[in-house]
Amino acid sequence: MYIRLVGNVTVTMKKSLSELLILFCLVDVRLVVGWIPIEVPDKVRYDLEASPIEIKTRSGLGDGDELWVYFEDTNGGYAGSLKIDWKDSRVYYYLDYCHNDRYSEPLPTNVPMLDINVLRITKMLEPHNRLKLHYNDVEVLDVKMSEYCDKSKWHQFWEKDVEFVEFLSSTSEFYRSLQETCSGLDPAWSSLKTRTQFPVQPGTVVEVTCEEDNKLFMGSSRVTCKQGTQFYVTGDQPECISIKSGIFITLSRDK
């Protein structure tokens, strides 16, 4: 038996418990649980106001790397973006459609650097519109938009509810959701079933069909995990309709 952790890291269950524990200590455990590979460009459905998102990167001081994280509303409309620069001995940031110029500013707090760094982005609309950034669990940025942004039209973008997050850089390797996992289908879908084994991570696509074979399936057969028993549905809500025996619909065309 094997336990696959991340990438090419595989542990073979042929060792003693003590040896296995040593192997686990040699692995960066932060890479194991919930991390999803980023394929740039990669856009994921994510309710950022509901809970923060974490991004893992190996970028460090002086690497010259850039990370762009774009935000979009439910219709795909632009809702602002955050850029992180590792261009010299400081880490820089830039908030698009907030800053009047295109120049990045150094983070106001010293950043704790590790070989593998985890960034956590938090966005809130209430009670004040603000953006927070944690770097390896240390808060390095807390921006109240109404006091910080000097671009006149900032509110047209940053006051939108974020429903999509897009990564437009190759510096980051993984992201993970801090939302609650989905524990099962929506209770309102009692007539539906799925082969998916719960729990699943937010963003996971789940295929559904009718619980009973003698019912007609209508609506979207693919729903996306949001959190708990909540799902995003593109198109019509899935449902199952009873088919009365002996009733058939025949389609014909004029000869």
Arithmetic mean of pLDDT, 236-244: 88
| pLDDT in the model for residue 118 | 94
Report field, pTM of the whole predicted structure over 0.75: no
What's the pLDDT at 238? 95
Query: For residue 8, what are its two tokens?
Result: 């090419």
More confident residue, 33 or 146: 146
Question: pLDDT band for position 251 (50/70/90)?
Answer: very low
For residues 47 and 50, give the distance between their C-alpha atoms in angstroms, rounded to a whole number: 5
191-230 residues labelled b (16+ CB within 10 A) or e (exposed): bbebebeeebbbbbebebebeeeebeeeebeebbbbbebb
Domains of the chain: 1-33 (no CATH), 34-177 (2.60.120.200), 187-242 (2.10.70.10)
Token digits for 64?
């010259």
Going by DSSP bridges, is the β-strand pair 2-4/10-12 parallel, antiparallel, or unpaired?
A: antiparallel
pLDDT of residue 244: 67
Residue 167 CA to residue 175 CA, distance in Å, equals: 10
Q: Give percent of the chain with pLDDT exceeding 90.
A: 37
pLDDT digits (tens, 9 = 90+) for 97-139: 987 776 788 988 788 889 899 999 999 887 788 999 999 999 9
230 has pLDDT over 50: yes
Q: What are phi and psi of 174, to 5 degrees?
A: -145, 155
User: Is the pLDDT score of 224 beyond 80?
Assistant: yes
Q: What is the 3-state secondary structure (H, E, C) of 5-17?
A: CCCCCEEECCCCH
Lowest-pLDDT range of 1-5, 55-59, 246-250: 1-5
Q: Where are the alpha helices (DSSP H) in the chain?
A: 17-25, 145-148, 155-158
